Amino acid sequence: MADNPFLAAFGLIAQADPALMQIIGLSLRVSLSAVAIACLIGLPLGAALALVRFRGRSGVIVTFNALMGLPPVVAGLVIYLLLSRSGPLGSLSLLFTPWAMVLAQTVLILPIIVSLTRSMVEDLWEEYRDQLRSLGSTRLRAVPTLLWDGRVSLLTGVLAGFGRASAEVGAVLIVGGNIAGHTRTMTTAITLETNRGNLGLAVALGLILLTITFSLNGMAFAVAQWSRRRGG
Amino acid sequence: MQRLAVSAALCLGALPAWAETFITVASTTSTENSGLFGHILPIFKDKTGIEVRVVAQGTGQALETAARGDADVVFVHAKAREEAFVKDGWGVQRFDVMYNDFVLVGPSDDPAGTRAAPSAPAAFKAVADKGAAFASRGDDSGTHVAEKNLWKAAGVDPVGQSWYMETGSGMGATLNTAAQVPAYALTDRGTWLSFQNRGPLEITFQGDKVLFNQYGVILVNPAKHPHVKVAEGQAFIDWLISDEGQAAINGYKVNGEQLFFGNAAK
């Protein structure tokens, strides 16, 4: 098993090991949920930041840009302290649940979505301002049009967000607790197997995670190509 | 894009539902990494229907997790600190559960000559005298506490010495480091027996009584944290120290070797 990670990875998938399937399913659900929430908040917020002028706007932009580099372990620690029974949100009993991991990953990827959306919408607005204005559109009314026009670039941002979420281990380990069958994800399982000295199995799990990421990116690329061709 | 967001949002509903009854146990990497929990918890669940969710941390972190109210039961191995935990009011009562022992592992050619040492402190003294590489957990875990006590008994202060490496990691990560250097390291026998990536490492010293490693279990005090699941948590503790629980612990073997020895008070 430990000899050839490629064979081990193949064997694990071929057996459709239920524990492994559960871990893969949980990882995908948590990361996709985080991406969805981050998009629901981040796309409108990023567009608003691009188009609305207000005092302190530069400060907000710099903050979101800087938060793209937020170390996951710091995000995890802060959320741990918030969700802990001794913390302000302790009564929600969210610590060591998948929801805590969704929250941590959302915090990590929201800055990426906001910053990329803002920068893209800003550029598109500059490009199409006169055209949109001549059609009688205001800045805010232009938001859906601009987001739709930039969907292909936005997809790259969303994929970057998914990549950061699914590859991350520091935060989910702290707030999820790596509980077998409950909060064990691909990355925390890889950490655990490394610590058990099962390096072959750890690499095999890593290969499976990479394969999933490859497939998702491939699908997204295909969708983008199709959409581009269709949009002319 | 919106459609993608909506379909992803649907995934939210698919997160695992709350189990009927579960307790959270803060425990150590040695019990989790050795596979003991994987063996005994299904037996307990079959009997009682209670799911035990284990968060495996170093002993220091596990006690901190429990003191913050984030666990119902704490199951660790640093007796003095467990007694302090109960005395400070964070825990109800401490019960002995089982023991295993620590072993000194090192390069098979044993450069410091620890195989010939008459006692564990003497073996540690030999490592220091030779200046042989030593990988320490350095993470305030039960194993790290035991290691510091052995250095004290050997009359050596290793911190800051060029041959002394604090990994600040779990037992497995520290053994991975020790196998690469190669370096000596103190490990619990359970983790060692189930550890796969040994490289040139072998047990070079074992058997001294001071290497005895006692595990205890404590219910977190509901007076401090009213949400603690007293009935379920106590059911787990009662089962661990019952004949049945002790038999389950004694029945866990890796490569035919027993890892933990039940010694609950009758």
pLDDT at B19 over 90: no
Query: For B62-73, what is the mean pLDDT?
Result: 96
Which distant-in-sequence residues (6+ apart) come within 8 Å of A223 by Cβ?
Answer: A155
How confident is residue A163, by pLDDT bands cut at 50, 70 and 90? very high
| Contact between B15 and A179 using a beta-carbon 8 Å cutoff | no
Quick check: A19 contacting B, CB < 8 Å? Answer: no
| Contact between A195 and B198 using a beta-carbon 8 Å cutoff | no
Q: Which residues of chain A have a CB within 8 Å of the CB of B70?
A: 84-86, 95-96
Query: For B95-108, what is the mean pLDDT?
Result: 96
- Residues B19 and B90 occupy one common structural domain: yes
- DSSP assignment of B5-36 equals HHHHHHGGGGSPPPPSSEEEEEEEHHHHHTTH
Per residue in B147-169, pLDDT (tens digit) is: 999 999 999 999 999 999 999 98
Residue of B16, B37, B176 with shortest CB distance to A197: B176
Dist CA B74 CA B95 (whole Å): 11
pLDDT at B83 over 70: yes
Quick check: A227 contacting B, CB < 8 Å? Answer: no
How confident is residue A23, by pLDDT bands cut at 50, 70 and 90? very high
Quick check: A8 contacting B, CB < 8 Å? Answer: no
Beta bridge partners of B91: B220
| Contact between B8 and A33 using a beta-carbon 8 Å cutoff | yes
pLDDT at A131 over 70: yes
Quick check: B192 contacting A, CB < 8 Å? Answer: no
Beta bridge partners of B254: B257
Residue numbers of the domain that contains B118: 101-211
Per residue in B227-251, pLDDT (tens digit) is: 999 999 999 999 999 999 999 999 9
Query: For A110-139, what is the mean pLDDT?
Result: 90
Lowest mean pLDDT among A123-127, B3-7, B191-195: B3-7
Quick check: A26 contacting B, CB < 8 Å? Answer: yes
For chain A, positions 69-108, list CB contacts with chain B under 8 A.
Answer: 84-87, 90, 93, 95-96, 98-99, 102
| Contact between A195 and B171 using a beta-carbon 8 Å cutoff | yes
Per residue in B173-210, pLDDT (tens digit) is: 999 999 999 999 999 998 898 888 999 999 999 999 99
Which distant-in-sequence residues (6+ apart) come within 8 Å of A204 by Cβ?
Answer: A5, A6, A8, A9, A12
Q: Which residues of chain A have a CB within 8 Å of the CB of B29?
A: 195
- Residues B63 and B186 occupy one common structural domain: no
Segments making up each domain of chain A, as ranges: 5-231
State the pLDDT at residue B6: 46
The helix/strand/coil state of A152 is helix
Query: For A65-78, what is the mean pLDDT?
Result: 95
pLDDT at B262 over 90: yes
CB atoms within 10 A of CB A152: 17
The sign one gets for the Cα dihedral A124, A127, A128, A134 is: positive
State the pLDDT at residue B17: 43
Last residue of a domain, one of B191, B211, B231: B211
- Residues B110 and B205 occupy one common structural domain: yes
Which distant-in-sequence residues (6+ apart) come within 8 Å of B129 by Cβ?
Answer: B112
| Contact between B8 and A26 using a beta-carbon 8 Å cutoff | no
Total beta-carbon pairs less than 8 A apart between chain A and chain B: 108
| Contact between A96 and B53 using a beta-carbon 8 Å cutoff | yes
- Residues B77 and B158 occupy one common structural domain: no
Q: Which residues of chain A have a CB within 8 Å of the CB of B198?
A: 197
State the pLDDT at residue A179: 94
- Residues B173 and B117 occupy one common structural domain: yes
By CB neighbour count within 10 A (0-12 exposed, 13-18 middle, 19+ buried), where does B28 fall? buried
- Residues B19 and B41 occupy one common structural domain: yes
Q: Which residues of chain B have a CB within 8 Å of the CB of A182?
A: 16, 53
| Contact between B37 and A180 using a beta-carbon 8 Å cutoff | yes
How confident is residue A232, by pLDDT bands cut at 50, 70 and 90? low
By CB neighbour count within 10 A (0-12 exposed, 13-18 middle, 19+ buried), where does B12 fall? middle
How confident is residue B20, by pLDDT bands cut at 50, 70 and 90? low
Query: For A73-101, what is the mean pLDDT?
Result: 95
- Residues B29 and B124 occupy one common structural domain: no
How confident is residue A231, by pLDDT bands cut at 50, 70 and 90? low
Which distant-in-sequence residues (6+ apart) come within 8 Å of B44 by Cβ?
Answer: B50, B52, B236, B239, B245, B248
Q: Which residues of chain B have a CB within 8 Å of the CB of A33?
A: 8-9, 11-12, 15
Q: What CATH number has the domain bearing residue B10? A: 3.40.190.10
State the pLDDT at residue B96: 97
> ∠ CA A151-A155-A158 to the nearest 5 degrees?
130
Residue of A nearest to B192 (CA): A196
Q: Which residues of chain A have a CB within 8 Å of the CB of B68?
A: 84-87
Q: Which of A166, A126, A152, A144 is nearest to A24 (CA)?
A: A166
* 8 A C-beta contact, residue B250 and residue B260: yes
Query: For A166-195, what is the mean pLDDT?
Result: 93
- Residues B207 and B123 occupy one common structural domain: yes
Residue of B nearest to A198 (CA): B196
CATH number of A5-231: 1.10.3720.10
pLDDT at B81 over 70: yes
> Which tokens hold the place of A226?
């199709």
State the pLDDT at residue A3: 59
Closest CA–CA distance from residue B118 to any residue of chain A (Å): 30
* 8 A C-beta contact, residue B98 and residue B39: no
Q: Which of B56, B240, B152, B155 is nearest to A184 (CA)?
A: B56
State the pLDDT at residue B30: 82
Q: Which residues of chain A have a CB within 8 Å of the CB of B227?
A: 85, 93
CB atoms within 10 A of CB B147: 22
| Contact between A86 and B1 using a beta-carbon 8 Å cutoff | no
Closest CA–CA distance from residue A178 to any residue of chain B (Å): 7
User: Beta strands B134-136 and B253-254: pairing type?
Assistant: unpaired
Closest CA–CA distance from residue B117 to any residue of chain A (Å): 28
Range of A215-219, B24-28, B31-35, B138-142 with top mean pLDDT: B24-28
Q: What is the ipTM of this complex?
A: 0.81
pLDDT at B9 over 80: no
DSSP state of B199: T
State the pLDDT at residue A153: 86
Quick check: A21 contacting B, CB < 8 Å? Answer: no
How confident is residue B14, by pLDDT bands cut at 50, 70 and 90? very low
pLDDT at B103 over 90: yes
Quick check: A60 contacting B, CB < 8 Å? Answer: no
State the pLDDT at residue B164: 97
| Contact between B29 and A39 using a beta-carbon 8 Å cutoff | no
Last residue of a domain, one of B192, B211, B230: B211
Which one is predicted more confidently, B41 or A228?
B41
* 8 A C-beta contact, residue B75 and residue B241: no
Peptide bond into B182 cis (omega under 30): yes
pLDDT at B82 over 50: yes
Task: Give me the percent of chain A exceeding a pLDDT of 70.
Answer: 98
Question: Phi then psi for A63, rounded to 5 degrees?
Answer: -60, -50
User: Beta strands B91-107 and B261-262: pairing type?
Assistant: antiparallel
State the pLDDT at residue A227: 81
- Residues B141 and B200 occupy one common structural domain: yes
Q: Which of B150, B254, B259, B164 is nearest to B208 (CA)?
A: B150
Query: For A170-193, what is the mean pLDDT?
Result: 94
State the pLDDT at residue B142: 86
Give how many domains chain B has, as a whole number.
2
